[in-house]
Amino acid sequence: MDQSQTCEDCFAIRYTFTLPHSTREFLVQLRRDTLALIQPPRTHYPDWARLDYHQCKNCPLTIDRFPHCPVAASMAEAIEYFQDLWSFEEIVVEISVGTRTVRTRTAVQNALGGLTGVYMVTSGCPILDQLRPMAYSHLPFASLEETVYRALAMYSLAQMLRQRRGLTPDWEFAGLARIYEQIGIVNRSFHRRLPMIGTKEAGKNAVISLDAYAKYTSNRPFAKSIAELEKLFQPYLRSDSPAEGAPPA
């Protein structure tokens, strides 16, 4: 497949980085029905992408079936491209998702963090897969609060779907905190792969930023986040709300 063109059945996220002397585009193509990453063919992967190189202690994959870490394989090209940049260097980045386009000047670390985040949750990693639905509403440069809101919304819909299938839903959100704890382990393990590349710290700090999100989310009781968001949902909490079956005013 020509990776410069989107396919008809793909959900595409396009990152275009403008550096002082070059412009580079990364087109992330996802299967529209599952949001699984469509990986461009590559004949060689770097040694740091091997599954058994600093493999996450919670990784369920085996090297006989997966010679390369899905996350590392998906991110190899981007990490290699930015390996000679410092995280504080400013570049222009343009992100296109569907009909929306965002363009801004920011530090390399911030620009790269969004791209690596998309790769990580769509790569096929069994741990990070649990956040894959969030790629459907990819929000570049999201704040911690926005990320928590989207995570809660995703998890709520997941519990409704579980209930519909006769599975036990988790309306206390205890499982979401455990998911982020496991993701934190993956983020920290992946960071240990990067010193082998001899990079400056742009790629490394992008991963550290993602780990900060995971720590914030796993260490913060979701009940507190829900209580803080409750005021946003006052129209649903009235006795005359359409959610109660009453006709709208």
User: Which range (97-111, 122-136, 139-153, 188-202) has the least confidence?
Assistant: 188-202
Q: Is residue 240 part of a domain?
A: no
Residue 198 has pLDDT above 60, yes or no: no
Range of the domain at 87: 10-232
Q: Which residues, 6+ apart, have CB-to-CB distance to 12 below 8 Å?
A: 6, 27, 28, 29, 30, 96, 97
Cα–Cα dist 163/141, whole Å = 33
Task: Decide if 237 is inside a domain.
Answer: no
In a domain, residue 181? The reply is yes
Q: Determine, yes or no, domain membership for 30.
A: yes
Q: What is the pLDDT of residue 196?
A: 57
Lowest mean pLDDT among 136-145, 160-169, 213-222: 213-222
Q: Does 1 fall in a domain? A: no
| Global pTM value | 0.83
The verdict on residue 137 lying in a domain is: yes
pLDDT of residue 127: 95
Give the per-residue pLDDT at 119.
92
Per-residue pLDDT band at 43 (split at 50, 70, 90): confident
Q: How many domains does the chain have?
A: 1
Q: How confident is the model at residue 94 (pLDDT cuts 50, 70, 90)?
A: very high
Split at pLDDT 50, 70, 90, the class of 210 is very low
Q: Is residue 93 part of a domain?
A: yes
Distances, alpha carbon 86 to alpha carbons 48, 108, 137, 206, in Å: 20, 7, 29, 11
Average pLDDT over residues 71-87: 84
